[in-house]
Amino acid sequence: MFDVDTDRTLVAAADLVNTSVGLRSATPGLDQLTTVTQLKEYLSARAPDMRWPPSGADRTQLEKVQDLREKVQRIWSAAPIESDAPVRVLNELLHGVGLRVARGSDGEYRAEPVPASKELADVMTASVATAIQHLVVRDETARMRTCKGEGCDAVIIDLTRNRSRLFCDFGNCANRAHVRAYRARQAAHRRTFSSTPEATAPAGPSTRHMDAHTDTLDSPRLVKPSAAEKAAQIEVPTSQSAVAAKEFRDRMRDELMEKREKKSAKKLKKEKKAKK
Ligand SMILES: [Zn+2]
């Protein structure tokens, strides 16, 4: 979305926040940054892309990284940023961070942070704070989100062009949300049927789909109807607006057919005249 290094750093920053205690896709998660070993694990998982050497991890650095995590979490939870308080936290992180121009990992020149020292926590702080700074000055902090999944506190960084990312990768947050939305739609359909007695449930595939699968939460068919089922649902509209839309489509089609028939009849007449 931005440049390759900024994107990577933002993902690493989200991962850092997600080592905190909290719910991950409805499952309680423990703090995963309580020991030097855990910090080394976090760093190793991001090496060599992040240039955050695990060898630099010790007790002092762990405490400083925990402090960095807490500050990044505060900034993240305030996003989209529209007040000065989270910016002040960001400026604390940027304190002592310099700037130089260097080639990024893609070979392009760009401004690169110069950390306050070569200590691991300072190196991490410089790159994370600089990446978040990009979001703030470009008014893109809405990309720092919390997963929309029920019972999930995981943070996500949305690097999609159309800002469409809503769910984390920890569990099945997206799937659970789609199932819930599907059930809500089906409930709305049932309410429509019961309030308009003349609109009886058509015996099409969509009804079968609803009856057979309403209570089987984990059925993938609930989430992804087949192409044939989708087509059948269009042919057998189930909501009032869909009924109206189908009626309109059918009427237009009929009118078009009528016009065509008239036209060809005229043409025939003309041809007959010409022959005479
Ligand atoms: Zn989630």
Using DSSP, state whether 125 is helix, strand or coil: helix
**pLDDT tens for each residue of 184-218:** 888 888 887 776 554 444 444 443 333 333 333 33
Ligand 1 centroid distance, CA of 179 (Å): 15
**pLDDT tens for each residue of 49-101:** 899 999 999 999 999 999 999 999 999 999 999 999 999 999 999 999 999 99
- What pLDDT was estimated at residue 181? 85
Beta strands (DSSP E) in the chain are 22-24, 27-29, 98-103, 109-114, 144-146, 155-157
Ligand 1 centroid distance, CA of 148 (Å): 6
| Residue 113 confidence class, pLDDT cut points 50, 70, 90 | very high
Select from 148, 211, 138 the least CA-distant residue to 177.
148
The dotted CATH code for 4-169 is 1.10.3300.10
- What pLDDT was estimated at residue 141? 97
The Cα–Cα gap between 197 and 154 comes to: 45
- What pLDDT was estimated at residue 190? 84
- What pLDDT was estimated at residue 200? 46
Residue 48: cis peptide before it, omega within 30 degrees of 0: yes
Ligand 1 centroid distance, CA of 25 (Å): 4
Instruction: For residues 30-35, give the mean pLDDT.
Output: 97
**pLDDT tens for each residue of 211-263:** 333 333 333 344 444 444 444 444 444 455 555 555 555 566 556 656 666 66
Ligand 1 centroid distance, CA of 92 (Å): 29
